[in-house]
Structure 1
Amino acid sequence: MNIATFEELLIAASVQPQQQRLLLTFAVAEPEPDGAPGPQARSTLVPVMCVDKQVAELDTFANLADEARRMGQDWDVLLVTTLSGTASQLPDNEQTDAALRKMIKAIRHGQLERLLAFDRSGDLLHYA
């Protein structure tokens, strides 16, 4: 399945044979410290909020974005990955917390290959 929107990710996650927990990290784009100014400027993603959600807890990107807005923290990009459980059980809290810490570390090191990124409208972003 090709995923182009957040809602398509929810559909894909809901039809997996193993239960899925979504790991969500909201990040702001900050200019690289040694980067050149202007239109060629590069950004670094800095995590500002993270949460895990069961697929059933999410229905639309708009509702998730509204929940994030109520937290009062600005963000530019939503980075997402999944954590698989078993057919009958979601990953436990310890597994989930460890996976979130690993995800945040990967973002801080610019290792985004295993993450999907969505803009503030819920559309998939492509890495350059």
Structure 2
Amino acid sequence: MNIATFEELLIAAAVQPQPQRLLLTFAVAEPEPDAAPGSSPRSTLVPVMCVDKQVGELDTFANLAEEAQHMGQPWDVLLITTLSGKDGRLPDAQQTDVALNKMLGAIQQGQMDRLLAFDRQGDLLSYA
């Protein structure tokens, strides 16, 4: 299934055979310090907050962005992946924490091929 919007992601997660937990990381884009002179400016994503949510806890990107704004931490990009449950049950807290830590490590290493990224307006981003 091709996902083009946040709402399509929610629908895709809701129709999976096992319950899904959404893993969300908010990041700021910081300029790479060692960019070559004259090259196109590149940014590094630095995670600033992360949270997990059940699919039913989210409805629109706008509502999620408003909730994030109340946390008081600026962000530029929202990175998302899912974590599947088993036997009809959501992943437990330990499984979720392990998965969030793996996600953070992947972001820090620039390995984001399994993550969806959205800008502050909720537009899907592609990686260059």
- TM-score between the two structures when normalised by the length of structure 1: 0.96
Deviations 1:53-99 (A, max 9, x none): 00000000000000000000110000000000025200000000000
User: 1:35 Cα deviation (Å)?
Assistant: 1.1
Q: Aligned residue for 1:126?
A: 126
Q: Percent of pairs identical after alignment?
A: 78
Alignment size in residue pairs: 128
Who is 2:55 aligned against? 55
Paired with 1:63 and 1:37, the residues of 2 have a C-alpha distance of 40
What does residue range 1-128 of structure 1 map to in structure 2 within 5 Å? Answer: 1-36=1-36, 40-128=40-128
Q: Which amino acid counterpart does residue 53 of structure 1 have in structure 2? A: K
Distance 2:115 2:60 in 1: 19
Q: Which deviations, in whole Å up to 9, do the C-alpha atoms of 1:5-64 show, x marking residues without a partner?
A: 111100100000010000000000000110146771110000000000000000000000
TM-score with structure 2 setting the length: 0.96
CA 1:38–1:10 in 2, change beyond 3 Å: closer, same or farther? Answer: farther
CA RMSD of aligned residues (A): 1.2
**Alpha-carbon contact 1:17-1:87 (below 8 Å) kept:** no
Q: How far off its partner does 1:109 sit?
A: 0.7
Which stretches of structure 1, 4 residues or longer, exceed 6 Å deviation after superposition?
none
- Aligned to 2:10, what secondary structure does the other structure show? helix
